[in-house]
């Protein structure tokens, strides 16, 4: 059975940092591109970043470039998103997802990140 379990969501002050994690099982994590997608309260989905199976390529949406870093540890079947210099515009539920033929077939349960003083 496939499981994608996220952790790390929290309330953080503006300018602060947070690290999200996703632990994956039930599929060949080390062969899969992985992505982060977020959804602001009451808004649509927004792709945030992705990382190649071996970690050699990483891509980001412009609004987070230079502030967010995606990484992975294939020995632990885990995906990470380090978020720095957080602002109110980063308040959202963050999902990790496996890429499958240009889509996302396995999703984590979502982690709420609230940026507020």
Partner 1 sequence: QSALTQPASVSGSPGQSITISCTGTSSDIGGYNYVSWYQQHPGKAPKLMIYMVTNRPSGVSNRFSGSKSGNTAALTISGLQAEDEADYSCYSHATKVFGTGTKVTVL
Alpha-carbon distance 76 to 97, whole Å? 16
CB of 75 to partner 1, least distance (A): 26
Alpha-carbon distance 88 to 30, whole Å? 33
Q: Which residue's CB is nearer to partner 1, number 9 or number 16?
A: 9
CB of 39 to partner 1, least distance (A): 9
Q: Which residue's CB is nearer to partner 1, number 16 or number 110?
A: 110
Q: What is the DSSP letter of 116?
A: -
Q: Which residue's CB is nearer to partner 1, number 89 or number 105?
A: 105
Region of 33 please: left (phi>0), alpha (psi -120 to 50) or beta.
beta
**Which structure tokens are listed for 107?**
């999703």
Binding residues for partner 1, rule: CB under 8 A, are 37, 44-47, 50, 59, 61, 95, 99-105, 107-110
């Amino acid at each position: 059975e496939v499981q994608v379990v996220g952790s790390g969501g929290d309330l953080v002050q503006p300018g602060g940092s947070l690290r999200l994690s996703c632990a994956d099982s039930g599929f060949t994590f080390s062969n899969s591109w992985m992505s982060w997608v977020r959804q602001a309260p009451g808004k649509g989905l927004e792709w945030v970043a992705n990382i190649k199976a071996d970690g050699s390529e990483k891509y980001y949406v412009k609004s987070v470039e230079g502030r967010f870093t995606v990484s992975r540890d294939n020995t632990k079947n885990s995906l990470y998103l380090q978020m720095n210099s957080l602002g109110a515009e980063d308040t959202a539920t963050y999902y990790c997802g496996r890429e499958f033929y240009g889509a996302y077939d396995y999703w984590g349960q979502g982690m709420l990140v609230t940026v507020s003083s």
